[in-house]
Structure 1
């Protein structure tokens, strides 16, 4: 398994709009081979921002990399630049290969 995360520092007051954008966008993920799941996570609020992370789970690192080179990826990120007004800085990518996994019953 491979976990891909982007961390966003969302400006105070922009949280609802940021969440709306993610909720209403067409991610095109359901059609991508190797995609398992997606979550948008909301973290701590600081004086000037709230921390968010997009968290996607993939069957392999290569499946994720194939997605980043696909037409579906380009379509899903087509309007991303227009939303920069809501962020402090750039999103920060973090990728992790699972070395141990446990699941509930």
Structure 2
């Protein structure tokens, strides 16, 4: 399984707005071929790093998502520039061990 984790450092006061934006835009991803799961991780009290983590059957499925119209719509760029402290960081992984 392929995992993509996008880390966002969010300016003070914008955490709730970021969660709301992901809540509104995360439904389209479930329709994508190869999509397995989406997790949006929030920091403990006082933290400012949020993580959007997606699980895919393959890296090719993830790449197809990033090239889709739905991806472009979800990442329309209408977020206030002051919401983020720097650019998000994308980290990718292959699943080695899973326990459920």
Match of 1:99 in 2: 96
Gaps of 5+ in 2: none
Deviation (angstroms), 1:99:
2.3
Alignment partner of 1:66 out of 64, 67, 75: 64
Max Rg structure? 1
Deviation (angstroms), 1:27:
4.5
Tell me the TM-score normalized by structure 1: 0.83
Tell me the TM-score normalized by structure 2: 0.86
Rounded to whole Å, the distance in 2 between the matches of 1:22 and 1:83 is 14
What is the count of residue pairs matched by the alignment? 99
Deviation (angstroms), 1:26:
5.1
Distance 1:70 1:102, change over 3 A: same
- Could you say what the CA RMSD is over the residues aligned between the two structures, in angstroms? 1.7
Structure (1 or 2) with the greater strand fraction: 1
